[in-house]
Amino acid sequence: MKNFIKNYKVEIIIFLIAIILIFFNPDKAILGIKYAVKTFLYLLPIIVSVAYLTGFISEIIPKQTIKKFVGKESGFKGKLLGGIFGTLMIGPAYAFYPFFAELINNGANIGVIAVTIAAWSIKIQWLPFALSILDIKFVLLLNLFIIIYAFSSGYIMELFFKSKKL
């Protein structure tokens, strides 16, 4: 029981606040619960997919392969691969955090993961749409700045986590 409380402090606090709110404003509390359930059902397929992908990575792909392509020794090529991967990914980034943690535990470089997450805001599949409604100079400059930021953040994160593990 002690571990349960320790591991789920935030969730318990939110649950207690919800119980208290039911007494003060039951209509709003019920709307909040309906919204929470709707959001959970929306995210459920993403969470299950990421859990499957995480399990797949940890069981099927050897650590040596992960280290080779996105490990410390991968250098700029690993970051480039992470950046490309980040621009192609869809869905909410936070849903993939367990996947990224599994990659790090299997030897992926922190800098590569940082580049991947930072490059997530570039959506290759949305560029034609963005170009059709926004100025080409704006779209290209914005994406250039995002790429610069992504790679800079990757190298900076490596400095912060040089001797540490997450």
pLDDT tens track for 66-76: 888 889 888 99
**Is a pLDDT exceeding 60 seen at residue 164?**
no
Question: How many structural domains comprise the chain?
Answer: 2
Domain closes at, from 22, 43, 60:
60
Q: Counting beta carbons within 10 angstroms of the beta carbon of residue 149, is it exposed (0 to 12), middle (13 to 18) or buried (19 or more)?
A: middle
pTM of the model: 0.72
Range from 94-98, 105-109, 116-120, 160-164 carrying the lowest mean pLDDT: 160-164
When the pLDDT of each residue in the chain is averaged and rounded to a whole number, the result is 88
Residues 90 and 149 in one domain: yes
